[in-house]
Amino acid sequence: MTGKLPFEALSVETLATRLATNEALCATIGKGPWKVREVGDGNLNLVFIVEGASGAAVVKQALPYVRLVGDSWPLPLKRSFFEYHALTRQEARAPGSVPAILHFDEGQALIIMEYLAPPHIILRRALIDGRQLPNIARDIGLFMARTLFRGSDLSMQTKDRKADLALFADNVELCGITEDLVFSDPYFDAKLNRHTSPQLDGLVAELRADRDLKVEAQRLKHIFAANAETLLHGDLHSGSIMVTDTETRMIDPEFAFYGPMAFDVGMLLANFWMSFFSQRGHEQNGKRDAMRAYLLGVTNETWAVFRAEFSHLWRTERTGMLYQKSLFEDQGDILASEQALDHVLHQIWSDLLGFAGIEVHRRILGLAHNADFETIEDEDLRASCEAKALKFGRHIAVNRRQILGMDEVNNLAALIERESRI
Amino acid sequence: MTGKLPFEALSVETLATRLATNEALCATIGKGPWKVREVGDGNLNLVFIVEGASGAAVVKQALPYVRLVGDSWPLPLKRSFFEYHALTRQEARAPGSVPAILHFDEGQALIIMEYLAPPHIILRRALIDGRQLPNIARDIGLFMARTLFRGSDLSMQTKDRKADLALFADNVELCGITEDLVFSDPYFDAKLNRHTSPQLDGLVAELRADRDLKVEAQRLKHIFAANAETLLHGDLHSGSIMVTDTETRMIDPEFAFYGPMAFDVGMLLANFWMSFFSQRGHEQNGKRDAMRAYLLGVTNETWAVFRAEFSHLWRTERTGMLYQKSLFEDQGDILASEQALDHVLHQIWSDLLGFAGIEVHRRILGLAHNADFETIEDEDLRASCEAKALKFGRHIAVNRRQILGMDEVNNLAALIERESRI
């Protein structure tokens, strides 16, 4: 199979034949016969696990439409190209944080990559199961600090960043999904929206009439679309992370593009807070008090690790054109450099709270819900969890410039969780 | 001459021969013999005026280096490509605001355009001469509002904006000039800097040790480089504007790229304030009190016209993906739309003050000075004018988030101008 052939979707039946001569694949898993399974549970793509005599690999292929919706919603195959290029940059900037790539075929929109075998599990699934992963805060905090810092004008030669920005600017359709589904659709009666009804109807109407919230959501969309600060993962939620007790890998960066640093951080943290509010729905086998405490601890630690690593890179790897040492350290003024760092971190903080609040809303009001809430079968119970998350999201989005630190946010989450009258 | 030939700089001697068969040129000015003059007084390019029997035209050609510095500083010819594309977009978005283009030859980095004959004069020259142009505030305010609004996601289809952003992202070298010369070099002992010495030595040392100022300058550089909001002119100072009493045209947009709206506005206003502080140096033939009052009035009116037109476009042409009407007006909530407009204008305001302050500094401390001050022959007098401008620039850059409106800024300018003890 070469990139010259017209695109053709793989299937469990055809995969072994079509990839039989792929050298990278054969070198990793051995020649056939292979066992092939389709395991894609995402919204967009085909994902196969291929097992041979000497190993296994993942074959991920884009489809020319949104899998979740069907071929009525076309989506270009080039997202595979952006995923491939994002993975290579993430590996370079945060070694060991993403699956190894074995092969990329642009024409077939196909990436063959390392199989993260069990006990690897999707982080979202682990959190729903009530598992406390010991390393995720550290691993994800480091990943975000390293990729976001090293992909920006704080580190890169700006000529290289601008060329890369131009490359990823063509990832229009996937940006468009975020622009519509995250920032706008949840706040009006858009066609693809759904929510737990009728339980949430009143609150949903209230949020859609909430002027301050809607203005803030659009300000954040403006920042998302215009502020091309660094190469983002673009879809860094707990469903895009594979974990074991000792390992953490980020996957699925097909939404990658140049955007604001705070977006990845805010979306990720939002998913921890949603997990927090969803725990009440998963207490069939026992209270989840410890899990809730763990989750707030994870948000706290993730942000602390992010700041510590970002600050470390600021002090040791600031080789880009921004905040040049010639203006600060080289003039003997280390405090000027620290002052600038405070400004940059403060901006990330107040923006990430906004992005986090909006991400919570879109997962409950928009098209793409998440399993944390969806797997709560009792609709009243689910709605009660979701309502708390919605109120939390509204609060942090609208008050993002006034919230001082993670303690306040986590105290707010705990208060909302505990107080039935809110 | 076709684009296939290797680049060759035109000269007064060769121009008529080389362009003799250019249809657009012949159609406008008639066939030869022509009269050719080289009039380029800018820092970068060759500019010829070519006159024939039935008219005249301007032939502008880029050189592969910075004219001001010489061939030790190479600069790519493609800046002509960006100038051409910027001019076409500006004409579409603000009809009549730029010279008409007759011909573009990418290979020869050459644009043939409308000749703005006398009494057209460079605005900076007119202001040095003490002329009060009646229309500039309105014309430039409208130009900025229309180009900046219509080149952004407030108006464009985001797919088109992203493609255009990718196109202009390659204008790296000219962005690099701004990034270095405007935002960084003035604040340390960079090689190409110069200032009126020894008169300003003490103040220059003070500014280069001013932590708050340097951090702010770098924050603004960060915004400049990352916030790809709209297609900027990129170099909108009073030397890039041709005027008569009734006409105003913006020229020379070769620095065009996608950046923050506030940059064009701030740079432009800075040039009015510099003209204000330089007037004292041009009082040989009489006091310039009325001219000073006029200039502060111009800043006031320019900003008022900008806001009024931007607000008008916000209410009538908001067809892009940001602040969609489906979230605001379509829900009957016009005040939500007005609230968002206030936020956007407030951001532009506080950023433009920063850009303005920095622009003032670089014109006095950096490489590219301007004639407002340079034509003051008495060095003590020049230094006294420059010192006031430097202090003004520092104040508005560092306090940009606390300054409420144009009245405060202009009162500050008047206070600094009047108070010798400042």
Per domain, the residue ranges of chain A are 15-114, 121-417
Peptide bond into A6 cis (omega under 30): no
8 Å CB contact of A226 and B222: no
Phi then psi for residue B201, to 5 deg, are -50, -45
Residues 6+ apart with CB under 8 A from B305: B137, B138, B141, B142, B145
List of chain A residues whose C-beta atoms are within 8 Å of the C-beta of residue B74:
none
CB A135 within 8 A of CB A302: no
Is residue A52 scored above 70 in pLDDT? yes
> Structure tokens of A215?
């203005």
pLDDT above 70: residue A397: yes
The answer to whether B335 faces chain A, any CB pair under 8 Å, is yes
- Per DSSP (E only), the strands in B218-295 are 230-232, 241-243, 248-250, 257-259
What is the edge-to-edge ordering of all strands in the sheet holding B248-250?
Answer: B121-122, B241-243, B248-250
Give chain A positions within 8 Å (CB) of B226: 152-153, 227-229, 260
Q: Which residue, A222, A237, A223, is CA-closest to A359?
A: A237
- Stretch 204-233 of chain B: residues touching chain A, C-beta under 8 Å: 208-209, 211-212, 214-215, 217-219, 221-222, 225-229
Indicate the length of chain B as a whole number.
422
Identify the sign of the CA torsion B283, B288, B291, B297. positive
State how far Cα B229 lies from the chain centre. Answer: 17
- Report chain A's C-alpha Rg in angstroms: 22
Substitution target from A218, A221, A348 for chain B, most B beta carbons within 10 A: A218
Give yes or no on whether A15-114 and A121-417 have one common fold.
no
Number of A/B CB contacts below 8 angstroms equals 149
Q: How far is CA A275 from CA A78, A367, A375, B315, in A?
A: 32, 18, 12, 41
Q: Which residues contact B188 (CB under 8 A, 6 or more apart)?
A: A326, A327, A330, A331, B208
Tokens of B378: 């008495």
B371 to chain A, closest Cα gap in Å: 28
**Minimal CA separation from A53 to chain B, in Å:** 46
CB B259 within 8 A of CB B234: yes
Q: pLDDT tens digits, residue range A281-296? A: 999 999 999 999 999 9
Q: Determine whether the interchain pair B327/A179 forms a contact, defined as Cβ–Cβ distance below 8 Å.
A: no
CB contact under 8 A, A321 and B184: yes
Q: Which whole number is the average pLDDT over A347-353?
A: 98
B15-114 is classed in which CATH architecture? 2-Layer Sandwich (3.30)
pLDDT at residue B3 in the model: 46
Alpha-carbon gap, residue A60 to A52, rounded angstroms? 17
Taking contacts as CB-CB distances below 8 angstroms, the residues of chain B near A328 are: 214
What are φ and ψ of residue B242, in 5° steps?
A: -105, 135
∠ CA B192-B194-B197, nearest 5°, is 155
B340 interfaces chain A, CB cutoff of 8 Å: yes
Nearest CA in chain A to B213: A336
Considering only residues 144 to 203 of chain B, which have any Cβ-Cβ distance to chain A shorter than 8 Å? 152-153, 158-159, 162-163, 165-167, 169-170, 172, 175-176, 179-180, 184, 187-188, 190
Helix H or strand E encompassing B103: strand B101-105
Q: Other CB atoms closer than 10 Å to residue A23's CB: what's the count?
A: 9
Nearest to A169 among B153, B166, B260 (CB): B166
pLDDT tens profile A256-267 = 999 999 999 999
**Chain A residues inside the 8 Å CB shell of B324:** 184, 218
A117 touches chain B (CB under 8 A): no
Of the candidates B216, B233, B276, B232, the one whose C-alpha atom is nearest the C-alpha of residue B396 is B216
Does A121-417 carry CATH code 3.90.1200.10? yes
- Band the pLDDT of A3: cuts 50, 70, 90: very low
Contact B326 A188 (CB under 8 A): yes
Q: Are B288 and B296 spatial neighbours (Cβ–Cβ below 8 Å)?
A: no
Percent of chain A past pLDDT 70, that is, above it, reads 99
Pairwise CB contact (< 8 Å): A184 & B324: yes
Whole-number pLDDT of residue A421: 76
pLDDT band at A235 (very low <50, low <70, confident <90, very high): very high
Query: For B225, which of A153, A215, A336 is closest by C-beta distance?
Result: A153
pLDDT digits (tens, 9 = 90+) for A143-172: 999 999 999 999 999 999 999 999 999 999
Give the C-alpha separation, A67 to A47, whole Å. Answer: 12
Are B322 and A221 in contact (CB < 8 Å)? yes
Find all residues with CB under 8 Å of A253, minimum gap 6, and list them: A82, A83, A86, A87, A90, A98, A233, A234, A235, A240
Could A211 and B333 be called an inter-chain contact, meaning their C-beta atoms sit closer than 8 Å? yes
Separation CA B37–CA B16 (nearest Å):
11
What is the distance between the alpha carbons of residues A350 and A330, in angstroms, rounded to a whole number?
Answer: 30
- Report the complex ipTM: 0.95
Neighbour-count burial of B396, counting CB atoms closer than 10 A to its CB (0-12 exposed, 13-18 middle, 19+ buried): buried
Q: Which residues of A touch B180 (CB under 8 A)?
A: 321
Closest chain B residue to A213, measured at CA: B336
The amino acid occupying position B171 is: N
Lowest mean pLDDT across A43-47, A185-189, B40-44: B40-44
Q: What is the mean pLDDT of residues A242-250?
A: 97
Task: Collapse the DSSP code of A120 into the 3-class scheme (helix H, G, I; strand E, B; otherwise coil) and give the result.
Answer: coil
pLDDT attached to residue B5: 85
CA angle (A132, A135, A136) in 5-degree steps: 80
Question: Would you call B226 and A229 a contact, using CB atoms and an 8 Å cutoff?
Answer: yes
Are the beta carbons of A358 and A174 closer than 8 angstroms?
no
**Per-block average pLDDT, block size 10, for chain B (422 residues)?**
77 96 97 92 86 97 87 92 98 98 97 97 98 98 98 98 98 96 97 97 98 98 98 98 97 98 98 98 96 98 98 98 96 96 98 98 96 98 98 98 97 94 75
Q: How many CA atoms lie within 13 A of A385 on its CB side?
A: 26
Count other C-beta atoms under 10 Å from residue B3's C-beta. 12
Q: Do A211 and B335 touch (CB under 8 A)?
A: yes
Q: Is the separation of the CB atoms in B128 and B374 below 8 Å? A: no
Residues of B in contact with A184 (CB under 8 A): 321, 324, 326-327
**Residue from A19, A258, A307 nearest A146 by CA:** A307
The H or E element that residue B166 is part of is: helix B158-168
Tell if the pTM clears 0.95, that is, is over it: yes
